[in-house]
Structure 1
Amino acid sequence: MKVEAILFGGVAVFFGATAVLYGVWSHADPAGTAALVVAFGMAALVSFFCAVQYVRHGPRPQDRTDAEVAAGAGPLEFFPPHSPWPIVTALGFAVAATGVVFGLWLFLIGFGVLARGVAGLVFQYVNRGAGQED
């Protein structure tokens, strides 16, 4: 993850410098500056995530030159097999987006459904492996 963190850090620096220069030179276009600032933020977020994962887990087998092929074998992570929460989240987002057009009442209903879907996704497997012995 170290290489990815450096790569996205470079992208973030590029978008940050571009946003500053564009903001100075284009006095009448705040939309372009805002888009570049958002692009900087997204690249910086990915870079930060990759850097934190590298610090937490160390180098992956793909990052080491002395690693064997077998070092990368085994389960990578837990991926849930069945979950109703992505559908609830999508429905909540669709209703909230429709509420932007038709009124605040519909947006609030959609936001409530969306919040429940996101909470369900986040906390669905919060107790996974809590009762297992090593």
Structure 2
Amino acid sequence: MKAESYLFGGVAVFFLTTGVGYGWWSGREPAGTAALTVAFIMSSLICFLFAHNYQRRGTRPEDNDGGKIADRAGPVDFFPARSPYPVLTATGASVAALGIVYGLWLFILGFGVLAAGVGGLTFQYVHRGE
């Protein structure tokens, strides 16, 4: 995480310098200055997250030059074989997007199908560990 922290720190410094330069050069034009300020804040936040994780957890196996693939091996999470909910979620999102164009009634219908799909994905295997 140390290398990623340095990478996003460099991106944050770049956005800071370009934001200050753009704000001075453009006569404090608000839209571009705001966009560069937000980009600086977001990259600084990611840099802080990576630096904080590095301080808490230390180095990872992939940070070691002599590391092997087996050092990172571990249990893989559960993946379901079949599920109808991704198709239901995609259908609901598509119908909701069409509802934005064609009318509120279609959006509400699509949002209901989308909510059912997301709820199904979320709670499909809620009792798996019992």
Fold shared per TM-score above 0.5: yes
Which is greater in Rg? Answer: 2
| Correspondence for 1:84 | 84
Q: Distance in 2 between matches of 1:55 and 1:125?
A: 35
Q: Distance in 1 between matches of 2:51 and 2:78?
A: 21
Choose which of 26, 29, 43 in structure 2 pairs with 1:27. Answer: 29
Cα pair distance change 1:13/1:121, threshold 3 Å: farther
Q: CA RMSD in A?
A: 3.8
| Correspondence for 1:72 | 72
Query: What's the secondary structure of 1:62's corresponding residue?
Result: helix
Query: What's the secondary structure of 1:114's corresponding residue?
Result: helix
Q: Distance in 2 between matches of 1:51 and 1:120?
A: 36
Q: Distance in 1 between matches of 2:20 and 2:89?
A: 36
The answer to whether residue 117 in structure 2 is matched with residue 117 in structure 1 is yes
> Given the two structures, how large is their TM-score scaled by the length of structure 2?
0.60
Query: Identity over aligned residues, as a percent?
Result: 56
The C-alpha deviation readout for 1:44-72, integer Å capped at 9, x for no partner, is: 78667767876887643212345443222
Structure 1, gaps ≥5 residues long: none
Once the two structures are superposed, the pairs formed by residues 88-107 of structure 1 within 5 Å of their partners are 88-107=88-107
